[in-house]
Chain A
Amino acid sequence: MLLSPALAISAVLFTLGVAGVLLRRNAIVIFMCVELMLNAVNLTFVALAQGLGVGGQVFVFFVMAVAAAEAAVGLAIILAVYRHKQSVSLQNMNLLKDG
């Protein structure tokens, strides 16, 4: 029924998220792209739950809860980095490299 279009949209959203993470430099945007991927997965769960039982729907709640926590922590980190570096560009965040 609606399964194939739902999975297709989910795949497109996930690919957009991956591409965004790979290509963008702004940490906030990358963060949003990560959320995009999570929600693409959520969509897949919900869609497949129609045929395979309620487990997928339950799992979505877990993912949302974790995503909320992740958003809080992640935004806090980005804020801290911004205060320190006056920038949220990932290109400037390479302290792990030597020299």
Chain B
Amino acid sequence: MTGTTVDLIWLAPALALLGFVLNGTLALTRPTAKTLVSIIGAGVLLAAFGVAIAVFSAFTGLHAPTEAPVVFRYWSWIPVGTLQVDFALQVDQLSLVMLLVVTGVGSLIHLFSIGYMQDDPGYARYFAYLNLFVFFMLVLVLGASFPVMFVGWEGVGLCSYLLIGFWFTAEVNANAGRKAFIMNRIGDFGFMVAMFMIFWSTGSLDFDTVFAHAPTALTAGGTAITVITLFLFLGCTGKSAQIPLYTWLPDAMAGPTPVSALIHAATMVTAGVYLVARCNLLFAMAPVSSAVVAGVGALTALFAATIALKQWDIKKVLAYSTISQLGYMFLAVGTGAMTAGMFHLVTHAFFKALLFLGSGSVIFALHRAYHHTHSHEDAQDMRNMGGLARYMPWTTALMWIATLAIAGIPPFSGFFSKDEILTAAFARGAVEPIWLVFWGLSLVAALLTAFYMTRLMIYTFHGPNRTGEQEQTHLHEAPWILTGPLVILGVLSAAGGLLNVPALYHGGAWLHHWLEPVTQPGAALRPEPPLASGTEWMLVGVAVAVAVIGIVGAWQLLKPERLVPARNAPEERGLARILRNKWYVDEIYDALIVRPLVWFSRVVLWQEIDQRVIDGAAVNGAARGARALGWANRWIQSGQVGTYVAVFVVGVLLILWRAMG
């Protein structure tokens, strides 16, 4: 306890939990009380954001930057022998950044949801889930030990599952939810094994104790630390949708669009990046794992970007874009540039939330237009859009801001964060040449990013309209409750770069200095190689040139006037078809893992082991054996009392004879 406003940190998750309880009760008792649900649902988030700001300002006044994090121990949770886990929250620079992002962006998305979900019969249930998600997300980022973080980690997974399958009456949505849950379970296995090994080697699971003991308990570069960090990263690949566990995220777009913005773009999927940044000391001690993290990140960035090139569903493009951008973040944290990773996490939260909410606004408009004409066209297919700039000027302008930000055009936020990652990777390449490959991969990914985002913009907002003659009259800009949050996010996307303007542009690099107390242990062990300012300017030039080539190239190459609406569209051929079908990764997983597993479960485990061995031999076999024994011995029970007495007498005589003899 510090005696300041920082002590109120528990209020943030408690408010979200309160919102869940109240909205959950309303969902069960009075699901039509939409006004009350809106006030509670968005209100608790705004209050939590207020708490976050208050705690943040109190914290800045409280601490010298080098001091240890403030840990609040509330109660003893798992006291077993030497394992002592308290339910404890930790306030430090890193968790405060996450706290502000989660509650801030979360508040905007809650406000957007009020408009977007207004006609949904599950309105109260939706807000209950959303509040529960925020609660678990706050536990995740504020937890002071691995197990408390894991509670949040699992909790957000649960909420993700519930919200992906929100419209569960359609089987495809329910399946998408299950897919997300199962893929995440593979990652969680890695997280748990890592936790066991951390406890085994350091004797604790609290962050401060683990990081204090790790340098002495584990040898840097040794097998143990490498295995621990690789298992941790396996957890990250599940939650943050990296190769090989990324396939659930595109399917997760089956949920409502604000959910995609909040959970599957801005907050939950960045939990893995947060975890690596939190454990920066452990990763700095394991160079092999760091290279794996960076390599997987760079590869994912490029791979997902290629798929995004040929998707028609507007949300699928953004989903693959999210995977690609998460790849950048992992490249950064694997490189050791924790600040760059967290910086990109924050700016990405701004511009990707904006992109998703903007697409939500587009889908909302199209959906209403189709609703008016009772048409059943796909409201998410870009081939049914086009020319929407005329009907939705605000959304178009704001989406363009986000597009320029994600493409890395200065001075938008994404330029600063992405450039910092590329620079860090290139600088690391001077020490470890493999990073030059990663840099190259991510540079190509940057080109593709600019290209596919421009493609999305051209096909959605420019060129001729393909929605339909009758529908065009019903296309309108979304109401202010939808565009309001978009405007705020637009400002943040444009100006978010101010958080961390590097010294190259005579900036203060505020975020870098702010996070230094947290990133210092790792950075001391694995310092970032310095780079001459001339080289840095060259890298900036290359990055911007690549982004411009991507945008101009898309503008020149793509001809929106040749597109036809989805229902008349011809099949793609060649490479386009492969990309359209996502490199057939789902099919490959299906053939290599799912089907053999199902076959093994059905034929070997079920039909052979369960039905034959367990049911047949063990269960029914025991019964049959008992019956056979009874049948064989039933002549003894003749029912004649005389016989029994005779046997009894013979027995007594035998015993007497034995006793005497």
Contact = CB atoms under 8 A, between A and B. Distances in A.
B649 interface: yes
Interface string A76-99: 000000000000001101111110
Contacts of B639: 94-97
A22 B637 contact: no
Nearest to B639: A97
Contact of B637 (A18, A21, A90, A97): A97
Interface residues of B, number: 10
Interface in A1-54: 18, 21-22, 25
Nearest to B646: A22
Nearest to B644: A96
Contacts of B634: 98
A22 B639 CA distance: 15
B637 A96 contact: yes
Contacts, number: 24
Interface in B623-653: 634, 637-642, 645-646, 649
B638 A90 contact: no
B640 A21 contact: no
A20 B649 CA distance: 12
Nearest to A23: B642
A93 B638 contact: no
A25 B637 contact: no
Contacts of A25: 642
A90 B649 contact: no
A22 B641 contact: no
Nearest to B637: A97
Contact of B645 (A21, A94, A97): A21
A22 B640 contact: no
A90 B646 contact: no
A93 B646 contact: no
A22 B642 contact: yes
Interface in B159-217: none
A91 B643 CA distance: 10
A30 to B, nearest CB: 8
B653 to A, nearest CB: 10
Nearest to B645: A21
A18 B649 contact: yes
Contacts of B638: 94, 97
A95 B649 CA distance: 22
A25 B645 CA distance: 12
Nearest to A27: B641
B464 to A, nearest CB: 90
A81 to B, nearest CB: 12
Nearest to A93: B641
Contacts of B645: 21-22
Nearest to B640: A94
Contacts of A95: 639
A91 B649 contact: no
A95 B645 CA distance: 16
A45 to B, nearest CB: 18
Contacts of B646: 22
Contacts of A96: 637, 639
A78 to B, nearest CB: 12
A90 B642 CA distance: 8
Nearest to A34: B645
B24 to A, nearest CB: 61
Interface in B596-645: 634, 637-642, 645
A94 B639 CA distance: 4
A54 to B, nearest CB: 27
Nearest to A98: B634
Contacts of A94: 638-640
Contacts of B642: 21-22, 25, 90
Contacts of A18: 649
A25 B646 CA distance: 13
A44 to B, nearest CB: 15
A21 B640 CA distance: 12
Contacts of A91: 640
A94 B642 CA distance: 10
Contacts of A90: 640-642
A88 B642 CA distance: 14
Interface in B62-81: none
A21 B642 CA distance: 7
Contacts of A21: 642, 645
Q: Which of B634, B641, B646 has the most chain A CB atoms closer than 10 A to its own CB? A: B641
Nearest to A95: B639
Contacts of B641: 90, 93
A94 B640 CA distance: 6
Nearest to B653: A18
A82 B143 CA distance: 83
5 contacts: A94-B639, A94-B640, A95-B639, A96-B639, A97-B638
Given A22-B642, A94-B639, A97-B638, 17 more contacts: A18-B649, A21-B642, A21-B645, A22-B645, A22-B646, A22-B649, A25-B642, A90-B640, A90-B641, A94-B638, A94-B640, A95-B639, A96-B639, A97-B637, A97-B639, A97-B640, A98-B634
Ordered nearest first, which 10 A-B pairs have the shortest CB separation? A97-B639, A94-B639, A96-B639, A90-B641, A22-B646, A21-B645, A94-B640, A18-B649, A90-B642, A97-B638
